[in-house]
């Protein structure tokens, strides 16, 4: 199936800017931003980030507070702190052979950076890749990663796959099946996550929010520093 998939990707692959580089730092930034954030929202933020901090050394030299402010709007702000710490590690020690040694980098992100930046034949398995694997019953090698991302995102959809457009449909045992809706993520509106986000925006703007529970939670994650009743961004 690899050949059919790659031929389809050659004609239908998405033109995403991080696919035009093998710079491990640029790819790491894209992978971290893409966690829990839609592609269309990431593209302009990724470009702006690399314009401001084009290398691990540049990002490592920034303050954690600057990084947190620049991350606002992407959500899950702990990712910004992890990315900053990873850049500091690379600036000080270079890229480790085992990429999971970098703060915030788990097996998936390590596989993605290893494949796209360092040419390793390893398949990063995200939700889309796993879905295609399970439905087709096929194993794919690392050369198919980007194609699997796109097939899962645009054709082999979670609920109602577009089997008529799928290059793998003829041999797919799941062809024509429909699926129950996945469990929805808990609502952001009114959640503690929203309270954290509101409190962090306030601190970034120089205000002092009164939500002490949110501030304690943010301080635990290294997103703010508490000094008595006052909160500030980390240096």
CA distance 222 to 27: 24
Sign of CA dihedral 77, 157, 145, 6: negative
Cα–Cα distance measured from residue 56 to residue 211, given in angstroms and rounded to the nearest whole number: 34
Sign of CA dihedral 58, 106, 102, 225: positive
51 annotated active-site: no
Of the candidates 224, 199, 223, the one whose C-alpha atom is nearest the C-alpha of residue 210 is 199
Burial 151-172, CB ≥16 within 10 A → b, else e: bbeebbeeeebebeebbbbeeb
Catalytic residue (choose from 31, 134, 165, 180): 31
Per-position DSSP letters for 146-205, written without gaps between them? HHHHHHHHHTS-SSS--GGG-TTGGG-TTTT---PPPPPPPPSTTSHHHHHHHHHHHHHT
| Burial class of residue 80, CB neighbours in 10 A (0-12, 13-18, 19+) | buried
Q: What is the set of active-site residues?
A: 31
């Amino acid at each position: 199936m690899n050949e059919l998939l790659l031929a389809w990707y050659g004609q239908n692959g998405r033109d995403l800017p991080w696919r035009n580089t093998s710079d491990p730092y640029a790819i790491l930034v894209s992978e971290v931003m893409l966690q829990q954030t839609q592609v269309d929202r990431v593209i302009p933020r990724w470009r702006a980030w690399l314009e401001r901090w084009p290398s691990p050394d540049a990002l490592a030299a920034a303050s954690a507070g600057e990084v947190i402010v620049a991350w606002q709007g992407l959500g899950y702000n702990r990712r910004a702190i992890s990315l900053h710490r990873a850049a500091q590690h690379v600036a000080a020690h270079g890229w480790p052979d085992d990429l999971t040694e970098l703060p915030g980098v788990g097996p998936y992100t390590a596989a993605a950076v290893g494949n796209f930046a360092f040419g390793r034949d390893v398949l990063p398995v995200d939700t889309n890749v796993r879905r295609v694997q399970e439905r087709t019953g096929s194993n794919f090698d690392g050369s198919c990663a980007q194609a699997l991302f796109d097939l899962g995102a645009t054709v082999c959809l979670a609920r109602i796959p577009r089997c008529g457009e799928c290059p793998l449909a003829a041999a797919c045992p799941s062809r024509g099946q429909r699926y129950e809706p996945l469990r929805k993520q808990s609502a952001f509106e009114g959640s503690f996550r929203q309270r954290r986000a509101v409190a962090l925006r306030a601190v970034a703007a120089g205000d002092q929010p009164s939500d002490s529970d949110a501030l304690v939670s943010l301080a635990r994650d290294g997103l703010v520093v508490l000094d008595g009743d006052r909160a500030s961004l980390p240096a």
